[in-house]
Structure 1
Amino acid sequence: MTTWIHEQRLSTVYQAVLDSEARTVLDLGCGEGDLFLRLMHAPGVERLVGVDLSTEALDCLRARLAEQEKTPSAQIELIQASMIEPGPGLSGFDCAVLLETLEHLDPGRLSILETALFHKMRPASVIVTTPNADYNEFLGVPSHRFRHPDHRFEWGRRKFRSWAEGVAKRNDCSVVTRDLAGAHPFYGGVSQMAVFTKQSEAAAR
């Protein structure tokens, strides 16, 4: 069972993938597959690859896949790998998704991730979601703590927007940011999302 917040994240990102008109999708940091299990039945998606560093998470996803009654409409594959050290087989996809994975990286490695995403994997579009630290006060999370012990950072909306705009400028992309899972008048959403699109792809539409 997913919480309302997580359901909002999943449904919003799912729709963003559909809006991208992607036929091939990378689910980076796929974990136990909450998004993956939805995308494998998404209209128009012909190939779906899940990537995670955790063998335990991938084993759990494989078990969940084995329990599915409906045959996937997409060709699916799971790869145990780091998204900041991608192999050549992860390049050239239409869309890459990072659902609540960014904050698990050390901030000093974000530039490595940027290079991996936009110069090695080179998807036509990239969808990133991450917790909105502005909302933490509303959730009762103390200012000196993160929501999860494995988080390495959490950004407010201004910081996230600044990062996203910088990434877009450096990599010849357009970017749109938005609140995700609610829109409190002062705190925004529980999470936040950025959708990057290569300028060449945007011009073709």
Structure 2
Amino acid sequence: MTIGTTSAGLGAPATDLGFLLHKNPARPQSLEVAGGTAHVFYPEATDERCTVAVLLEVDPIALVRSGRGRSGEGFTLGQYVNDRPYAASSLLAVAVGKLFRTAMLGRCDARPELAARSIELEIRVPALPCRGGAAMAERLFGPLGWSVDARPVPLDPSIPEWGDSRYVDLRLTGSVRLADALHHLYVLLPVLDDAKHYWVGSDEVDKLVRAGEGWLGTHPDRELISRRYLAHRKRLTDSALEALDRLVEADGTEAAADESDAEVGDDSVAASDAEKPVSLAVQRRTAVVELLREIGARKVADLGCGEGVLVAQLLKDSSFTEVVAADVSSRALTYAERRLHVDEMSDRKRERLRLFQSSVTYADARLTGLDAAVLMEVIEHVDPPRLPALAQAVFGAAQPGSVVVTTPNSEHNVRFETLPAGAFRHPDHRFEWTRSEFQEWAAGVCRTYGYEVSFRPVGPDDPEVGPPTQLALFRRVDASRRTDSDLKEAI
């Protein structure tokens, strides 16, 4: 397999592709993988054009001895004499995953701006087993933004009447982020082959969901892809589709309100006219942390932690003895780990942190026993029909002692000159509540789950339209304090 680009397509010297892949064009590398050896080298590497090649040498006998060879091919010799040494398959996908692991995470400290954006790429896989033919390759890669040229390989060029083989010469061109392109290949190479060389278990569901984040959940053939990737095991396929549904429903719902992805107004609100301007995002985090200190919370969760900005602030305060960072996006959690420098943390600080993937619309036993949970700029990213599920998961199942919720005050939007009338502050917002709408929702939560609520402004409290951000503090009421009418209404 080859991956190439040009200086024009990269917007930089073409050899910067080596930085993105973390592979030096001047130094070929080899890596032992299951059943063989994978080599990485550069057939061409100039400022104008650069191409990296992956060559996988497969030993079919080693595959059989390791228990990874295919045994159901109709005759014993088929385990040893097959297309594995000559054609792209799940073996090549595994090699790509190991060779370019860091690149697949979207990390490149030397060229971070290139890793973060789409670049022009040309990919060729000259011998790809493709069950369904060239049309299947177009069907799977086309919706991902690739221009697909899949040419059937004839069984024998000298005897055209024999027709085509099951292999295609695949060429992909398009403007795609490199990490995304590698994930597309990692998933779809074995899907097109439709035959894995190793046992498929439940851990493969997690691999598929991680590799498919951001694209597989909305792919028109996601069921076909999941079924083939998971070796047609129905239970695993159902689990994968359910997990993908959760990601699609969230669709970034739990992204942190960081300055890098701020909503309108986050960078334009001053603490006061006499002071140096402080962004609304900073004021919001400060208000949340001060409130958590005020109520004496020790075990705290940031639900929808995004890239971990609030989590970093919580970890700086030793009064928070346990900090949970949870988000539905595995990519966001990867960025959070980098921002927090988890691999460089002291043992004492690392013991205070729990970081894991979770959705605010599904009950999670790992979130029980908390003093406080924070939903900072999260609920407005959830589709309104899913809000009862959020309330049940957080207030009904997790039941923290306190819950802090912040959300935009839509009445204040008229104060933002750059925001068109009727528009939301962020394109991913599903709604934005007025103060009365937020209070009505909060009152319903309290009646149902046994909490009491108070409200505070965040940012300048405009006498006409209120503050830009509204904050609610929910505190759980002991069962002994709840009246019979409260309990009956909750039931």
Tell me, yes or no, whether TM beats 0.5: yes
Question: 1:162 and 1:43 mapped to 2: Cα distance?
Answer: 36
Shift of 1:34: 1.2
SS in 1 for 2:363: coil
Gaps of 5+ in 1: none
Aligned to 1:149: 427
1:139 maps to 2:420: no
1:187 maps to 2:465: yes
Aligned to 2:51: none
Question: 1:126 and 1:18 mapped to 2: Cα distance?
Answer: 13
- Tell me whether 90-99 or 135-144 shows the greater mean CA deviation: 135-144
Aligned to 2:394: 117
Amino acid at match of 1:200: D
Shift of 1:86: 3.1
1:15 maps to 2:15: no
SS in 2 for 1:154: coil
Question: 1:8 and 1:80 mapped to 2: Cα distance?
Answer: 27
Corresponding residue to 2:301 among 26, 51, 56: 26
Shift of 1:87: 2.1
Aligned to 2:443: 165
The answer to whether the 8 A contact 1:18-1:42 is kept is: no
Question: 1:88 and 1:196 mapped to 2: Cα distance?
Answer: 20
SS in 1 for 2:309: coil
Corresponding residue to 2:332 among 27, 49, 57: 57
Corresponding residue to 1:89 among 366, 381, 384: 366
- Tell me whether 164-173 or 101-110 shows the greater mean CA deviation: 164-173
The answer to whether the 8 A contact 2:380-2:431 is kept is: yes
Aligned to 2:323: 48
Sort the Cα spacing of 1:143 and 1:10 in 2 relative to 1 into closer, same or farther, 3 A: same
Shift of 1:143: 3.6
Deviations 1:34-82 (A, max 9, x none): 1110111224211111110111211111001118987538610111111
Deviations 1:83-140 (A, max 9, x none): 1113211112110000101100001111111111111111000000001100111113
Shift of 1:149: 0.6
Shift of 1:191: 0.7
Moved over 4 A (4+): 67-71
Aligned to 1:5: 280
The answer to whether the 8 A contact 1:20-1:95 is kept is: no
The answer to whether the 8 A contact 2:342-2:350 is kept is: no
The answer to whether the 8 A contact 1:174-1:199 is kept is: yes
Amino acid at match of 1:185: P
Deviations 1:127-164 (A, max 9, x none): 00001100111113334321111000000111111111
Question: 1:74 and 1:8 mapped to 2: Cα distance?
Answer: 28
Corresponding residue to 2:352 among 54, 57, 75: 75
Amino acid at match of 2:445: V
Sort the Cα spacing of 1:19 and 1:73 in 2 relative to 1 into closer, same or farther, 3 A: farther
Greater Rg by CA: 2
Question: 1:189 and 1:68 mapped to 2: Cα distance?
Answer: 39
The answer to whether the 8 A contact 2:364-2:393 is kept is: no
The answer to whether the 8 A contact 1:182-1:189 is kept is: yes
The answer to whether the 8 A contact 2:457-2:469 is kept is: yes
Question: 2:414 and 2:294 mapped to 1: Cα distance?
Answer: 32
Q: TM-score, normalised by structure 2?
A: 0.39
Aligned to 2:341: 66
